[in-house]
């Protein structure tokens, strides 16, 4: 009789063990899916777009050529050193280019005035070129205001 009771309990236990295991796995899968959907909603993948807007056409940036500038650098009492610079200004729109074209002499003067105060050591390496670019960008922005400038591109930069 004892053997019969044991065999009945053994046959009931595997089914009883399998049912909670599947419930736990199903609940875990449901939690993972809920977290994934919540993350997608938080990231804005399900954002509602109001109306259909016409796509905006990107306006190509306009380039303005600055004539070659050759000037001397600040050397103190050392021998004279020269710099030759050929640059292009990147403007966000053709309208800004038209406004800036009228001010090319002032832009050239701004660049020459700044370069005369720079030493050859200031222009050394990538850091020097980056500092020169940002300084010219700031100064030219003030000169051509209200037109905007987005970048200064160096075609030629020679320090002798």
Instruction: Choose one of 32, 53, 74: the last residue of a domain.
Output: 53
Q: What whole-number distance in Å separates Cα of residue 139 and Cα of residue 118?
A: 14
Domains held by the chain: number: 2
Could you identify the residue written with the tokens 């306006």? 59
Provide the whole-model pTM. Answer: 0.60
Residues 71 and 141 in one domain: yes
Residues 86 and 122 in one domain: yes
Q: What whole-number distance in Å separates Cα of residue 158 and Cα of residue 160?
A: 6
Residues 5 and 68 in one domain: no
Residues 126 and 93 in one domain: yes
Residues 44 and 68 in one domain: no
pLDDT in tens, 38-53: 877 777 776 666 555 6
**Domain carrying residue 116:** 62-159
Residues 103 and 138 in one domain: yes
pLDDT in tens, 55-93: 666 778 889 999 999 998 888 777 888 999 999 999 998
Residues 128 and 72 in one domain: yes
> How many other C-beta atoms are found inside a 10 Å radius of the C-beta of residue 62?
18
Of 89, 121, 117, give the one whose Cα is nearest residue 103: 89
Nearest 5°: CA angle at 125, between 123 and 126? 100
What is residue 9's three-state secondary structure?
helix
Q: What whole-number distance in Å separates Cα of residue 61 and Cα of residue 149?
A: 10
Residues 85 and 120 in one domain: yes
């Amino acid at each position: 009789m004892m053997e019969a009771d044991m065999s009945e309990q053994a046959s009931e236990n595997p089914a009883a063990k399998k049912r909670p295991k599947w419930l736990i796995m199903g609940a875990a899968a449901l939690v993972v899916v809920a977290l994934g959907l919540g993350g997608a909603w938080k990231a804005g993948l399900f954002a509602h777009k109001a109306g259909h807007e016409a796509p905006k056409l990107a306006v190509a940036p306009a380039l303005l050529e600055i004539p070659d500038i050759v000037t001397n650098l600040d050397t103190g009492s050392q021998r004279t050193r020269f710099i030759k610079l050929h640059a292009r200004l990147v403007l966000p729109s053709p309208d800004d280019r038209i406004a800036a074209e009228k001010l090319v002499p002032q832009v050239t003067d701004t660049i020459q005035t700044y370069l005369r105060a720079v030493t050859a050591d200031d222009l050394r390496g990538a850091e020097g070129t980056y500092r020169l670019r940002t300084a010219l960008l700031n100064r030219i922005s003030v000169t051509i205001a209200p037109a905007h400038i987005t970048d200064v591109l160096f075609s030629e930069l020679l320090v002798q």
